[in-house]
Amino acid sequence: MSAVTAIAAARARLWPAFVLMLVLIIPNAASAQNSLFSATPMTGPTSLGQGSRGDPYGSGGVLAPPTQWPPTTPNSATPVASMPMVPAGQVALALSARFGKDAPAIAGGLTWRVYAAKAEPGGGFKLLKEDKSPAPTLVLPAGAYIVHVGFGLATAVKPVTLRGPTVHADFDLPAGGLRIEGRVGDVRVPAGQISFDVYKGSQFEAGDRRPIAEHVMTGDVVMVPEGTYYIVSNYGDANSVVRSDIRVAAGRLTDITVNHRAAAITLKLVGEKGGEALANTAWSVLTPGGDVIKESIGAFPRVILAEGEYRAIARNEGKVFEREFKVVAGVDGDVEVTAR
């Protein structure tokens, strides 16, 4: 059942059916390694996104790397939380999530939200409680609710009815982590010079082409439902772009290395070979067929270009100069255009 169908059912019956949302995409990568359930130390930034607070069926965000991977308890036991006091007329709701039926309980990175079961006049669901504990126990008045759990881009939703002293609700989140880096040959591309966009499905499939995660940086970990994705890797801001398909497995960290065949080129307009670069020069880099790849202004513009043949055109003080040059993968260097 899709999220849209589930929302329609909730409005019609005031009680949604179980929904498990799996969203994400990633292009092909040169290499991928899957870690097992043993912990692998990781470092990285904090959260890059949040789900919609007013929609219990909204997606989650890009999750920062936890201190260990996977973020699970050492065995399949659910993390133990202290039991709060339960006043008369209220019920304790004990929540937990795991990567699958027989997988360990997830011990971090979860966001729990409890919504009213009945949609409001505007069509949204009122958020009643939010908790980021791995296995919280929430106290609520007896009645019907919608519980949403987000783990990065993996989410699950189910209805619960609170009766009696304690109700236990367990969620399956078959999700994994994706960590990407770029290389040129054996050299790792420095952080900040390369970024990645992640899409759901294969690059060869027709359908929605909006990224589910944009501008992911080297070393970031994106939490996604298990499945096939494709990555668009952008090295620099010119034409060094690589697309690749990969598969992410539940409960594993998938390391992806994207190989670019490119080089960093510095352009110079000089009066004579080896001379000083002339300032206030406007540059255009073209393919042999005349397509413009990059335009810039300056004495030493630096451009990252895919391997191939190009033509550099320099404009200075009303005069135009040009030169053909070739880019070899991994060979950075200067291209001098002589002003004569």
The whole-angstrom separation of Cα 95 and Cα 6 is 21
pLDDT at position 71: 62
Could you say which of 2.60.40.1120, 3.40.430.10, 3.30.420.40, 3.80.10.10 is the CATH number of the domain covering 262-338?
Answer: 2.60.40.1120
pLDDT attached to residue 83 = 66
Q: Where are the domains of the chain?
A: 1-260, 262-338
What is the reported pLDDT for 2? 40
Q: What is the pLDDT of residue 131?
A: 97
120-133 pLDDT, tens digit per residue, is 999 899 999 999 99
pLDDT of residue 64: 41
Q: For residue 115, what are the contacts with CB-CB under 8 A and spacing of at least 6?
A: 56, 125, 126, 127, 128, 145, 146, 147, 148
pLDDT of residue 86: 81
Give residue 233's pLDDT: 98
CA distances from 11 to 120, 140, 146 (A): 9, 22, 12
Does the bond joining 70 to the residue before it have cis omega, within 30 degrees of 0? yes
Q: How far apart, in whole angstroms, are the C-alpha atoms of residue 196 and residue 31? A: 15
Full strand arrangement of the beta sheet holding 19-22? 19-22, 154-162, 143-151, 111-116, 127-131
Q: In this predicted structure, what is the pLDDT of residue 145?
A: 97
Which residue(s) pair with 159 in the sheet? 146
- Predicted local distance difference test score (pLDDT) of residue 57: 39
Q: Which residues of the chain have pLDDT under 70?
A: 1-83, 208
Which two structure tokens, joined as six digits, stand for 232?
Answer: 């668009």
pLDDT tens-digit map of 58-99: 333 444 444 345 565 555 454 555 667 888 889 999 999 998
State the pLDDT at residue 82: 60
